[in-house]
Amino acid sequence: MRVHIVAVGRLRAGPELDLITDYLTRFDRTGRALALGPANAIEVEDKKNAGMGAEAALIERAIPSGALVCIMDERGKLMTSPQFADTLADWRDKGRQDVAFVIGGADGLDPAFRERADAALSFGKMVWPHMMVRVMLSEQLYRAASILSGGPYHRV
C-alpha cells in the first residue's frame, strides 16, 4: 500500500525536512516486506492565497484516484501507536492500494473536504505547527511499520 503525505505549503531545507526524509526512508525499508510503501511527500501551494477552497482543489488533484483519505485534524481520532499500526495493516489487508494523509494549511482544511474524508486522525487536542505534524506523522509511519514487523523500535 503506497502512502502519500499531502500537505499545504513548502518545507525549506532544514531539520524538519531532514527528519521527514529519514523517517520515510526507514518506513520504506521496514515496510517493504509488509507490503507497506513506498511513502512520499507531496506539497501543494496556493500561490494566489485564494483560501481553503482553493487549497482543497489542489489537494484533491494531488491525491491518487481511489486512495483512502485520512485527514490530520485536532477533531480526529486519538490512537496509540499500536492502534495506528493496526489501522494501517487493516487498510492494507482490505486491499487499499493508496492512502493519503492530508495536512491542511494555516487555516485548516476546507469543511466540505473534511466531511468527504474517509478517516480523521489527531495527534492531540493541541494545534501543532504543520511542519511538525509532517515530522510526527512520518515518525509514526515508521513506528507502525516497526511494530508490524516485530522490530525493537517501539517499546511498551
**130-149 helix and 81-93 helix, angle to the nearest 10 degrees:** 70
Q: What CA–CA distance (Å, rounded) separates 74 from 126?
A: 7
Tens of pLDDT, residue by residue over 81-125, are: 999 999 999 999 999 999 999 999 888 999 999 999 999 999 999
Q: What CA–CA distance (Å, rounded) separates 55 from 50?
A: 8
Which pTM value belongs to this model? Answer: 0.95
Nearest of 98, 101, 103 to residue 45 by alpha carbon:
103
pLDDT on residue 143: 97
Task: Provide the CB-side half-sphere exposure for 75 (13 A, CA).
Answer: 6
Instruction: Give the Å distances, CA to CA, from 55 to 6, 129, 132.
Output: 11, 17, 19
> Does 137 fall in a domain?
yes
> Does 59 fall in a domain?
yes
**Domain harbouring 11, CATH code:** 3.40.1280.10
> Does 61 fall in a domain?
yes
Nearest of 150, 149, 141 to residue 27 by alpha carbon:
141
Q: List strand residue ranges (DSSP E) for 9-145, in order.
A: 39-44, 68-78, 98-103, 119-122
> Does 155 fall in a domain?
no
> Does 69 fall in a domain?
yes
Tens of pLDDT, residue by residue over 126-137, are: 888 889 999 999
Look at 60-64, 114-118, 140-144, 151-155 and tell me which has the smallest mean pLDDT: 151-155
Q: What CA–CA distance (Å, rounded) separates 4 from 37?
A: 9
> Does 154 fall in a domain?
no
Question: Going by C-beta distance under 8 Å and a sequence separation of 6 or more, which residues neighbour residue 91?
Answer: 1, 68, 99
Domain region containing 21: 2-149
